[in-house]
Amino acid sequence: MKFNVSPLTCGRCVITITQALLAVDPDARVTVNLAAGTVDFDGGLDAAAVAATLAPHGYSAVPADGLADPGQAIVDHCCGTCHV
């Protein structure tokens, strides 16, 4: 599954997202594309579980296929480690 993830601003975001998803699904394959703002997740979680896993870390994950809840808020801020 591919997700549009926000905010996705720096290398620390990549590490946080990867670690969060692998903590709940250690056998998953997680690929974060910082430039595109996407996360490819291949594992045992459904889309709602991926979004729920990332939300406490400050990230909004919306399926890239456009089937997300249109009311889902997109968080628009930096994680604070990139000093942008």
DSSP 2-25: EEEEES--SHHHHHHHHHHHHHH-
Full-model pTM: 0.79
Q: How much of the chain exceeds pLDDT 90, in percent? A: 75
Cα 25 from Cα 75, distance rounded (Å): 24
Domain hosting 14: range is: 2-63
With respect to residue 21, please indicate whether it lies within any of the assigned structural domains. yes
With respect to residue 40, please indicate whether it lies within any of the assigned structural domains. yes
CATH of the domain at 22: 3.30.70.100
User: Residue 34: what pLDDT?
Assistant: 93
pLDDT tens, 28-38? 999 999 999 99
Average pLDDT, the chain: 85
Distance of CA 77 to the CA centre of its chain: 14
Whether the pLDDT of residue 84 is over 50: the answer is no
With respect to residue 18, please indicate whether it lies within any of the assigned structural domains. yes
